[in-house]
Amino acid sequence: MPNDATLVWFIADASAGLAAALAEAVLDAGQRAVLAARDPERLRSLVERHPGRASAIALDVLDGGAVDAALRDAEARFGRIDVLAASAQQRYFGAVEEGDESALRAVFEENVFAPVNLARRVLPGMRARRAGHIVLLARGVAHVPAGEGFCHAARSALEALAEALFHEVERFGVKVTLVDPGASDGAGHLPAPRAAGIADYADLAGRQGGTGAQVGQGAQVDLARAAQAILRAVTDGRGPLRLVLGRAALQRAYDRLRILKVGFDAWADLAASADPDLPAATAARAPRRPRASRARVSGA
């Protein structure tokens, strides 16, 4: 990061949800920020409370030309962008079979292409300075993704891209952090559409409600505390690739790892059966396979 302690942030979708809480935390900490939103009027009072350190701009993150212009304006105002915070919290309810193809594309546009394209556009400056941090505010992982398959697929794509980017730019002094905000409901983001119903899927979680708790994601995180945790991870200079926020989200992450391990162990012998025949000496040096679990876990 730059020698001066004041970082310059570019926060997209800063008028809603966790991004809005992060904007408050960043400015209250004395740092500078360009706050982007489809309706920048919602940011006026926040900017007025921090004269000279904050500006609000109108931005549709799906408009590549507008993104380029917004980033140029931000760099012209503050000289650089040290930290990019981009949101990926659009929702869509419905079974995979129910979902419309256009809805799947829209979810990927909002939750994958928009944040990744923002990251791609700030990277040249960060690489040149050999410093920077990209923070991706993802949708929380549902305990059981059934009923939110499109969102789960977009989250998985964003996670894979973030992991690749993390390893690609680490050598340039640029950090990448994917934030799992637990059961943040994305309040204030685009309305969550629903797929046309098929009777056989009527019992899926999420059919009756719109909040994180109603779709089985557990207790909500405190957005102000979550924002402080992100700020600390960035200013600490050693931000992790994955930052899970909230005890419930952390427990779901551990549960997911456990279920995956049980499934891998249960089918370890069958997996190993696909190996080519090895010479006896080589086979003797091969790592031992984990002991297969007696429990069969489908879908792991």
Q: Which two tokens stand for residue 184?
A: 């943040």
Alpha-carbon gap, residue 88 to 30, rounded angstroms: 26
Band (pLDDT 50/70/90 cuts) for residue 289 is: low
Band (pLDDT 50/70/90 cuts) for residue 231 is: very high
Q: What are the strands, taking DSSP E only, across the chain? A: 8-11, 32-37, 54-58, 83-88, 132-138, 174-180, 242-244
Percent of the chain whose predicted confidence (pLDDT) is above 70: 81
pLDDT in tens, 163-195: 999 999 999 999 999 999 876 444 444 556 777
Q: Determine the CATH number of domain 8-247.
A: 3.40.50.720
Collect all residues with Cβ–Cβ distance below 8 Å to 121 and sequence separation of at least 6. Answer: 67, 68, 71
| Number of Cβ atoms within 10 Å of the Cβ of 48 | 10
Given a contact cutoff of 8 angstroms between Cβ atoms, the answer to whether 56 and 40 are in contact is yes
pLDDT in tens, 106-152: 999 999 999 999 999 999 999 999 999 999 999 876 667 888 889 99
- H-state helical runs in 170-246: 223-235
Judge whether residue 254 has pLDDT over 50. Answer: yes
- Terminus-to-terminus CA distance in the chain, angstroms? 40
- The burial class, CB within 10 Å (0-12 / 13-18 / 19+), for 100 is middle
Res 110: pLDDT: 94
3-class secondary-structure state, position 179: strand
Full-model pTM:
0.85
3-class secondary-structure state, position 214: helix
Judge whether residue 295 has pLDDT over 60. Answer: no
Complete DSSP assignment for 54-66: EEEEE--TT-HHH
